[in-house]
Amino acid sequence: MRSIIGAGAIWLALCAAAPAQDYPTRTIRVIIPLGAGGGGDVFTRALADELQKALRQPVVVENRTGGALNIGARACAEAAPDGYTICVLSSEPVVYNQFVFKSLPFDPEKDFEPISNLFFNTLALVANSSLKVKTIADLVALAKARPGTLSYGTFSFPLAHFMEKLKTETGADIVRVPFRSGSEVVNAVLSGSTPVAVLALSNMVPQLQSGHITGLVVTGKTRSPLFPTIPTLAEVRSGRITLQLGSDCSRPPARPGRLS
Amino acid sequence: MKLASEVTRIVNDRDFRQRMFIDRAVEPAGTGLEEFARFIRDERKLAERIVKDSGMQPE
């Protein structure tokens, strides 16, 4: 399954006019609306390092978090369209938030000029391994046995929606705890303060490999090659609940332009 | 555009793909901008339906 909604698409946007031939001649700023240390941030910093080598100019990453990713998206939209601000955006501000909020401080259909579609995340429902749950059924049973005591973490509406739908379908009582980034969610799961999460696998590869976090299900159509023992949602829930998200690289438009 | 071509070159680099995609359970997008624009349009339709179906009121 590939969709910005459940697989975490990430894209790169540019808020800028076509740069001059000698571009770049100074520092390039990369805005990401996510917190430091999460999967999107790690990728963005690696990309920035490579761009810096290739373009022979500093490429500086700026985390602008909060506001359901609207703060960073707004900073991108309001940046000077000169080619020196680029943004790594995910599906929340580009696709979802226009339907979640009454108004946005940017126009997701006009304020970003796409540079590249970067990747799709595989999302997973996970739990702190000390809970000793291996499947969704285990989690639901535990939640029913301990109503109101379990909590789950996430940082975006589509991910929360997935869990809320699961709760409605199963009667599981798991309280939502909002976070600002994937790294915050992973820390909360590891500490046990919020032991369940819906999150991209890329945020927690070492923790899954070490066994500190248990993957219950992934949202893709096929199992992750890196974690082939985690079943897909379609396998365990007959495809009744789906989820995906994505990200890209984009920029403010030099001229009135549309992403779609 | 120089920036776009550099991004494309970087994300297609074998070492970068291994480190940033394969080793991190991430799926490279591998789509052109036209296909991506269609994807975004489709996603917006889906997102609108999901939010509506959720019964959630816009904040």
**pLDDT tens-digit map of A220-236:** 778 999 999 999 888 88
Residues whose CB is less than 8 angstroms from the CB of residue A190 and which lie 6 or more positions away in sequence, other chains included: A128, A207, A212, A213
Spatial separation of the C-alpha atoms in residues A184 and A38, rounded to whole Å: 8
Smallest CA–CA distance, residue A193 to chain B, in Å, is 25
What domains are defined for chain A? 4-121+245-253 (3.40.190.150), 123-237 (3.40.190.10)
Asked whether residue A256 carries a pLDDT value surpassing 50, the answer given is: no
Check: pTM over 0.90? Answer yes or no.
no
Cβ separation B6–A114 shorter than 8 A? no
Q: What is the pLDDT of residue A68?
A: 85
Q: Kindly state the tokens that stand for A175.
A: 């309280």
DSSP state of A25: -
Q: Do A192 and A132 contact (CB within 8 A), yes or no?
A: no
Does this complex have an ipTM over 0.85? Answer: yes
**Chain A residue whose CA is closest to B47:** A96
B27 interaction partners in chain A (CB closer than 8 Å): 2, 7, 119-122, 220
Asked whether residue A22 carries a pLDDT value surpassing 90, the answer given is: no
Tens-place pLDDT, residues A146-181 = 988 999 998 877 778 778 888 888 889 999 998 888
Q: How far is CA B50 from CA A157, A160, A249, B29, in A?
A: 10, 12, 25, 23
Backbone angles phi, psi at B25, to 5 degrees: 60, 40
SS3 B26: strand
A114 interaction partners in chain B (CB closer than 8 Å): 33, 36-37
